[in-house]
Structure 1
C-alpha cells in the first residue's frame, strides 16, 4: 500500500463517525463517535506507520489518537515523548490505549511508572497506577506490596475517578495474585466500599474489590 496522508485518514475517520456512538462515548468522558471495531479495521489495513501515527497524534483528535496507538512503533518513542503524550491524553479511552498499547511495550515503561506513580496530575498518576497493577500481575519482584496497600488504604477513597479506578484495580490484583496479602486487600475493600455500587452488566464481575477478588480466586481454585 502506498503513502497515506494524514488528511486522507482524517477524512476516513470523519466518514466513520456515528452520532449514537458519540453519545454513548460522551457518557464515559470520551469525545469521538467512531466504532472501535471500525477503527481497528483501519489500523489493520494501514499496518505499522510510525510517521503517520505521530502526525495523527498531533491533530489532537481522539479518534485519530486512538488510531495512532494502534499503528505506531512503541519502542520508537523516547521517555520524554511518552511523558508528553500521556499528559496530552485527556480522555479515558485515549489514555488507556496509550498506556496499554504503547507505554507497556516501551523500554521506558518502568522508568515512567516510577515517575508517574505519585504525579500531582491525577490523570498522569492513574497511568502510573495502571503500570503498577501490570507489574503486580506479571513482575511483582521488587515491589513493596505492603506499601502499596498502605497508600491505597490512605488515598483511594478520596481519589478522583480515574485514579481511584486504577488504585482499585491494583488493590484487587494484589488480593488475587498474592495470597499472603489477600485478607488485608479484602479488608481494605470492605472498609472503603469503593465501587461497591458500580453498575455491572449480567455475567460480568463487579469491580468492587472484595467481590472481584473472591470471584477470581474461585475461578483459580476451580481450574
Structure 2
C-alpha cells in the first residue's frame, strides 16, 4: 500500500464528530477525524514501514501522523529522527501519544527521553516524562536503574507545581506509573505523591484539571494491580 492509497483510505474513514473531538483537544487542520481503532485493518496490511511512516508524518495531517506512529520501526530510528518528529509535534496528543510511544519501543528510549526532559521545552519535557511512563508500564523492573528513577521522583517533587501545564500532567502520570508499575520504589512514590498533593493543570478553552497521583496509586493497589505491566505499548 503506497502513500496516496493510505491517505485516501484515511480520508474515507474520517468522521466529522471525531474530527471535532481532536480539534477540541488541540489538533489543527488538516484533520480527517479517524478513530484509532479504524486504523487497525490498514496497519495489518502494511505492518512496519519506516519510509512510509516518515512520508505520512511529514504531511502535518494529524491522522496521518498518528498512523505513522503505528507503522514506524522504532529500532530503525535515530535520535535525530525522533527529534525531527518532535519538532513537528505541535500538541500533546502527538508528543505524548505518538512520538513518546514510538520512542518507548526503541533501544535509545531512555537516552533520548532524558535529553527531552532536560530541554526546558514544554512538549519535549512532556514527551520525555511520558516516554518513561510507557517504558515503566511495559518493561521489567530490572531494565531500570533504581537510583535514577529515585532521582527522577525527587525532581518531580521539587518541580512539578512550577512546571509548564503539559509537563505537569506528564510528571503526575510518571508518579502514578512508578507507584503502580515499578515495585522497588512503591513506598517512596507513595510518600512523595502524598506530599505533592493535588496538581492543578490549566487547559486552553477547557476546565482546569485537578490530578492526584496518590489517590490514583491507592485505587490501583486496592484493585490488586501493583506491578501491572502492559503487554504492548503501540496499538
Partner Cα separation in structure 1 for residue 79 and residue 217 of structure 2: 34
Q: Which residue of 2 aligns with 1:210?
A: 214
Partner Cα separation in structure 1 for residue 34 and residue 225 of structure 2: 40
User: Is the 1:195–1:208 contact (alpha carbons within 8 Å) kept by the matching residues of 2?
Assistant: no
Deviation for aligned residue 1:146: 4.1
User: Is the 2:49–2:72 contact (alpha carbons within 8 Å) kept by the matching residues of 1?
Assistant: yes
The alpha-carbon distance between structure 1 residues 197 and 71, as it changes in their structure 2 partners (threshold 3 A), is: closer
1:184 has 2:191 as partner: yes
Deviation for aligned residue 1:54: 1.5
* Larger Rg, first or second structure (1 or 2): 1
| SS in structure 2 at match of 1:68 | helix
Query: Map of 1:97-112 to 2, 5 A cutoff?
Result: 97-100=98-101, 102-112=102-112
The alpha-carbon distance between structure 1 residues 207 and 41, as it changes in their structure 2 partners (threshold 3 A), is: farther
Q: Which residue of 2 aligns with 1:147?
A: 151
Query: Map of 1:118-129 to 2, 5 A cutoff?
Result: 118-129=118-129
Q: Which residue of 2 aligns with 1:194?
A: 199
User: Is the 2:190–2:214 contact (alpha carbons within 8 Å) kept by the matching residues of 1?
Assistant: no
1:35 has 2:39 as partner: no
Deviation for aligned residue 1:197: 11
Partner Cα separation in structure 1 for residue 3 and residue 157 of structure 2: 46
Partner Cα separation in structure 1 for residue 135 and residue 14 of structure 2: 36
The alpha-carbon distance between structure 1 residues 34 and 179, as it changes in their structure 2 partners (threshold 3 A), is: closer
Deviation for aligned residue 1:220: 2.6
Which protein has greater RCO, CA pairs closer than 8 Å, 6+ apart? 2
RMSD over aligned Cα atoms: 2.7
Deviation for aligned residue 1:63: 0.7
Partner Cα separation in structure 2 for residue 75 and residue 222 of structure 1: 30
Deviation for aligned residue 1:115: 1.1
TM-score when normalising by structure 1: 0.82
The alpha-carbon distance between structure 1 residues 221 and 81, as it changes in their structure 2 partners (threshold 3 A), is: closer
Stretches of structure 1 that go unaligned for 5 or more consecutive residues are 199-205
The alpha-carbon distance between structure 1 residues 221 and 19, as it changes in their structure 2 partners (threshold 3 A), is: closer
Partner Cα separation in structure 2 for residue 106 and residue 222 of structure 1: 25
Partner Cα separation in structure 2 for residue 146 and residue 164 of structure 1: 18
Partner Cα separation in structure 2 for residue 94 and residue 197 of structure 1: 19
